[in-house]
């Protein structure tokens, strides 16, 4: 203090004036950096916008993952896009995503889904679309009770039995194994939810119903609905010209209502009669009764789990197809741990470090589900000096995070060994990252990872994945992927050939035991 007084008494008026100006500047800069300025110029960079139309003209209608990665290279870790009435942010950096969705979870865990999907098509009960309120919290609790990390081991017998069906079905595949994988995962999920008896009697019908509703939802998500932009249209009579949106909404709603009610009623009847197998429905009804939350948790599992888990498995099998030398290494690890006389069990996983590394790398490499479900902000905020207004859509780009050269060094190289090196613990875990963030992180992640890994290990223990006769394995750089949200290979024509006589024997004895 003394020193300050001495300095002041020795200073000239000009020096005092300069010091005061500097002090005021420091105070103003501090105030500026801690206060949010809605009118500020500090929006992140983004693709060129047109007056009034914003980015409506150059926002992609497909291939989002690839285009968002190109934008990352041009505009950086936060990209700003202006859609009609909707500021849209693409978050390409893991660090920024963790700040926004984990540390500031209270500000950034909303969803913003339109009236058409929520009200007219009847999807407001899907937890992925709900606001993070008390009901959403209760449904997440039910998920934890049924398929949380401590519950999953009780599902191992189901997963192992279905893995046996899977390898038997793969024997017959000539061409793309997609439908075999989708059918297996669909059956695992429906049996997990409603039990073996219901699946035996109604499984195919339930899958068909769910698929139809899911296709309608997928199309609806990719459509800009006029009723979402002009709320007055909500009162437009469905029989009037232009009322098609109401009629197609009503059609979807009756499908969705059937998906929620019909299997649940069957499960209630069997539960009362004591004939319901041990399953998710049984666990939840024993603990929580037959509330609508229980019904909706069960009905959601198929939508949320089938396409996603199947995509991971198909992409893994395809990666093994194009990297046969990795398949060989994995098989020799499986042989040394499991032997050749039995099928792998879920518990074998802990003893398969190389196979686990391949699973992680297959999820990371050219990420199959590059975009999560967009979050929305419920308050104005600043991030790294950029402004995000309340009501913005904030979309994590996993594809960019999983191919960031600052994290991965050589992201375009398929190299499972990166997860076995001495500094592997510093790497993000793709088997966690792709499931999202904060209070909205995927509640099905333990199920998807456990089931997915076991199904692929069961397949790799017995089969080589070869090209069809007369064709050859495509070079990894020549592979093309679909331009949809789930990036499956455009062409995956293969044949699952039993590795040798030992594998044929295991398959024959499995077939006999059915």
Supply the minimum distance, in Å, between the C-beta of residue 430 and ligand HEM. 10
Task: Classify burial at 185, counting beta carbons within 10 Å of its beta carbon; exposed 0-12, middle 13-18, buried 19 or more.
Answer: buried
The answer to whether residues 281 and 264 touch, using CB atoms and an 8 Å cutoff, is yes
- Give me the 72-111 binding string for ligand HEM, x by CB under 6 A, dash otherwise: ----------------------------------------
Supply the minimum distance, in Å, between the C-beta of residue 323 and ligand HEM. 21
CA–CA distance, 57 with 177 (Å, rounded to integer): 37
Task: Classify burial at 191, counting beta carbons within 10 Å of its beta carbon; exposed 0-12, middle 13-18, buried 19 or more.
Answer: buried
Of residues 146-175, which lie at the interface with ligand HEM (CB under 6 A)?
147
Of residues 267-326, which lie at the interface with ligand HEM (CB under 6 A)?
300-301, 304-305, 308-309, 312
Of residues 446-485, which lie at the interface with ligand HEM (CB under 6 A)?
447-448
**Is there binding between residue 443 and ligand HEM (CB under 6 A)?**
yes
Tokens of 306: 């089938």
CA distances from 509 to 38, 43, 163, 240, 339 (A): 69, 64, 14, 63, 16
**Is there binding between residue 434 and ligand HEM (CB under 6 A)?**
yes
**Is there binding between residue 177 and ligand HEM (CB under 6 A)?**
no
Closer Cβ to ligand HEM, 179 or 509, answer by number:
179
Supply the minimum distance, in Å, between the C-beta of residue 378 and ligand HEM. 14
Stretch of 19-27, 403-411, 431-439, 476-484 lying at the interface with ligand HEM (CB under 6 A): 431-439
**Is there binding between residue 184 and ligand HEM (CB under 6 A)?**
no
> Would you call 92 helix, strand, or coil by DSSP?
coil
Task: Classify burial at 104, counting beta carbons within 10 Å of its beta carbon; exposed 0-12, middle 13-18, buried 19 or more.
Answer: middle
Supply the minimum distance, in Å, between the C-beta of residue 449 and ligand HEM. 7
**Is there binding between residue 430 and ligand HEM (CB under 6 A)?**
no
**Is there binding between residue 352 and ligand HEM (CB under 6 A)?**
no
Q: Give the contacts of 505 (CB within 8 A, at least 6 positions apart).
A: none
**Is there binding between residue 370 and ligand HEM (CB under 6 A)?**
no
Closer Cβ to ligand HEM, 181 or 301, answer by number:
301
Strand partners, 174: 495
Q: How many residues belong to the chain?
A: 514
- Check whether 41 is labelled as a binding-site residue: no
Closer Cβ to ligand HEM, 315 or 418, answer by number:
315
CA–CA distance, 343 with 488 (Å, rounded to integer): 28
**Is there binding between residue 127 and ligand HEM (CB under 6 A)?**
yes
CA–CA distance, 435 with 426 (Å, rounded to integer): 19
Tokens of 44: 């992140």
- Residues at the binding site for heme are 442
The site for ligand HEM (CB under 6 A) is made up of 127-128, 140, 147, 300-301, 304-305, 308-309, 312, 369, 372-373, 375, 434-437, 440-444, 447-448
């Amino acid at each position: 203090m003394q020193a300050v007084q001495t300095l002041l008494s020795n200073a000239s008026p000009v020096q005092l004036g300069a010091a005061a100006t500097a002090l005021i500047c420091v105070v103003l800069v501090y105030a500026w950096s801690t206060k949010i300025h809605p009118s500020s110029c500090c929006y992140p960079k983004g693709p060129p916008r047109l007056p009034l139309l914003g980015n409506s003209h150059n926002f992609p209608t497909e291939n989002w993952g690839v285009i968002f990665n190109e934008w990352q290279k041009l505009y950086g870790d936060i990209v700003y896009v202006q859609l009609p009435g909707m500021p849209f942010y693409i978050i390409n950096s893991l660090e920024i995503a963790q700040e926004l969705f984990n540390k500031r979870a209270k500000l950034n865990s909303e969803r913003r889904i339109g009236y058409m999907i929520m009200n007219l098509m009847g999807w407001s009960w899907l937890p992925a679309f709900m606001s993070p309120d008390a009901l959403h919290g209760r449904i997440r609790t039910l998920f934890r009770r049924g398929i949380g990390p401590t519950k999953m081991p009780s599902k191992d017998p189901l997963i192992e039995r279905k893995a046996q069906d899977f390898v038997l079905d793969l024997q017959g595949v000539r061409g793309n194994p997609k439908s075999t994988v989708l059918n297996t995962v669909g059956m695992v999920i429906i049996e997990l939810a409603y039990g073996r008896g219901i699946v035996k009697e109604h499984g195919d019908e339930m899958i068909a119903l769910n698929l139809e509703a899911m296709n309608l939802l997928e199309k609806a998500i990719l459509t800009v609905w006029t009723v979402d932009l002009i709320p007055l249209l909500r009162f437009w009579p469905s029989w009037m010209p232009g009322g098609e949106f109401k009629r197609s909404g009503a059609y979807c709603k009756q499908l969705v209502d059937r998906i929620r009610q019909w299997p649940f009623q069957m499960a209630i009847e069997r539960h009362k009669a004591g004939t319901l197998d041990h399953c998710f429905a049984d666990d939840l009804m024993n603990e929580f009764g037959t509330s609508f939350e229980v019904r909706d948790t069960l009905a959601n599992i198929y939508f949320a789990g089938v396409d996603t888990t199947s995509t991971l498995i198909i992409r893994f099998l395809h990666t093994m197809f194009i990297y046969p030398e990795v398949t060989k290494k994995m098989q020799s690890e499986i042989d040394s741990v499991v032997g050749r006389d039995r099928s792998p069990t879920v518990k074998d996983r802990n003893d398969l470090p190389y196979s686990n590394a391949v699973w992680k790398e297959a999820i990371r490499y050219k990420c199959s589900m590059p975009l999560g479900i967009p979050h929305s902000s419920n308050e104005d905020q600043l991030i790294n000096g950029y402004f995000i207004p309340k009501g913005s859509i904030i979309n994590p780009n996993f594809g960019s995070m999983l191919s960031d050269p600052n994290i991965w060094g050589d992201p375009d190289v398929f190299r499972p060994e990166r997860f076995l090196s001495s500094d592997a613990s510093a790497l993000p875990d793709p088997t966690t990252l792709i499931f999202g963030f904060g209070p909205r992180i995927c509640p099905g992640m333990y199920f998807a990872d456990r089931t997915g890994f076991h199904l692929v290990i069961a397949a790799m223990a017995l089969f080589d994945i070869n090209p069809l006769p007369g064709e050859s394995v495509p070079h990894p750089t020549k592979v093309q992927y679909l331009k949809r949200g789930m990036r499956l290979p455009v062409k995956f024509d293969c044949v699952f050939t039993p590795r040798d006589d030992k594998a044929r024997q295991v398959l024959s004895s499995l077939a006999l035991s059915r």
